[in-house]
Amino acid sequence: MTDFVFQNPTKIIFGEEAELKIVADIKDGGYKKTMIIYGMGRVKQNGLYDRVVRRIIKNELGFTDFGGVRPNPVLSFVHDGIEWARKNEVDSILAIGGGSVIDAAKAIAAGFYYDADVWDFFDKKTSPTKALPVFTILTLAATGSEMNNVSVITNEEEQKKYAFGSNLIFPVASALNPSITMSVDNRQSAFAAVDAISHILEVYLSKQNNLRLNDRLSEALLRTIVKDTEKILENPQDYDARASFMWSATLALNGILSCGAEGYYFANHLLEHSISAMYDVAHGEGLAVVLPAWLSWFREREPKRVDRFTKKLFKKTGDEGVVAFEWWLRSLGLATRLGEIGIKESQISYIAENVATAALRSKIYKEYDKKTVEGILKRALRS
Ligand code: NZQ
Ligand code: ZN
């Protein structure tokens, strides 16, 4: 185990009426005017927004409204949000939505006090020194953004989808009410499952050191997510499955699983972020295509680790294990081949070029150069 510092300051409010209870946290923080950020209008149609706003008014808090975050949030939206936040002199942000809304909120929070372009943080030119406090009401369990210090934004002009991390953008508090996620459809729930699973696998499979506790925690989470997902797809109103999945997805990327780990790269995310930067593909949708291809490539390098995963989860090893995992993804209704998400062989070189630029930025260009990436993606062409 390598040395590490673990500090996760986010308060989690879990369960019934969590979305109302969090308003007291904003009030107790002494904030006077919050900026409510949300997605494409669903929270207004289903009454969630109104319920939260009524509680905000009851608590005599000021607020302003900024909706329209689209899935895979873009830099121009963040720029507009920063301008809106400054114009309205807000002192806090309340994000109501999934990973996209929360990531946009974090980027706006970090850009608020920065005089130049917020993209500088994503481009690793500099780091923020101050940020607005972010509170979140999670409506879609998947990314872990509600309890981590990461924001992922797409620079749509440059077709770059990059993440930046700063302890200043850990949410102060996040409200997790599993009932709110019951309206997530099966397609999106399957995307969520593959995302949460990939967050665990990125560290569990590719870390270079032996960590018994992390491995066991990872396996417990993987098993739980697999079972919960099957239950959710069968009955989207299953409260226990929604609750267990929600907390598992949070734990999958809140930093606990990478404590003491070294030498892992989040390679599937590197590849997928290029795909969703360039094409209209949801994050989980892209991961379902990248993961089986990467797993088959990675198994040729680290057979023991991959076999341990497929054996524990799907009772198979070797190529059969990788196939079993892919078939499980397909049983959720997910596409696992590039052609199925509208990407042709002729586009692979273009994607690999984009990945290579991102790999250079992340200093993993030796492990994931253009040729290697092309080789991995070509595996996702096979029928
Ligand atoms: O736009 P709204 O109206 O909110 O609708 C969303 C959206 O259409 C909908 N949805 C959300 N809650 C719902 C719901 N539909 C029905 N009922 C509900 N209760 O679901 C759609 C997808 O939402 P989105 O927020 O885009 O999904 P997700 O949470 O998967 O977030 C994906 C984004 O997060 C990034 C991804 O790259 C992608 O941009 N990630 C962020 C990470 C982080 N910050 O740590 C890590 C991840 O690896 C990931 O990269
Ligand atoms: Zn992810």
Show the DSSP H helices in 12-98 as ranges.
18-28, 42-45, 48-58, 75-87
Any idea which ligand is nearest the CA of 276? 1
CA of 145 to the centre of ligand 1 (A): 10
CA angle 40-88-121, nearest 5°? 70
Specify the pTM.
Answer: 0.98
Quote the strand ranges of the chain, DSSP E: 11-14, 33-38, 62-66, 92-97, 134-138, 150-155, 160-165, 173-176
- Over its length of 383 residues, how does the chain's per-residue pLDDT go in tens digits? 999 999 999 999 999 999 999 999 999 999 999 999 999 999 999 999 999 999 999 999 999 999 999 999 999 999 999 999 999 999 999 999 999 999 999 999 999 999 999 999 999 999 999 999 999 999 999 999 999 999 999 999 999 999 999 999 999 999 999 999 999 999 999 999 999 999 999 999 999 998 999 999 999 999 999 999 999 999 999 999 999 999 999 999 999 999 999 999 999 999 999 999 999 999 999 999 999 999 999 999 999 999 999 999 999 999 999 999 999 999 999 999 999 999 999 999 999 999 999 999 988 888 999 999 999 999 999 76
Residue 129: how many other CB atoms lie within 10 Å: 10
How far does Cα 2 stand from its chain's mean position? Answer: 25
Q: Which residues have C-beta atoms less than 6 Å from ligand 1?
A: 39-40, 42, 71-72, 97-101, 103, 139-140, 142-145, 148, 150-152, 180-181, 183-184, 188, 195, 253, 269, 283-284
Burial status of residue 343 (CB atoms within 10 A of its CB: 0-12, 13-18, 19 or more): buried
Tokens of 329: 């993804």
- Cα–Cα distance, 246 to 181 (Å, whole number): 9
- Cα–Cα distance, 190 to 211 (Å, whole number): 29
- Cα–Cα distance, 128 to 118 (Å, whole number): 9
Residue 289: how many other CB atoms lie within 10 Å: 28
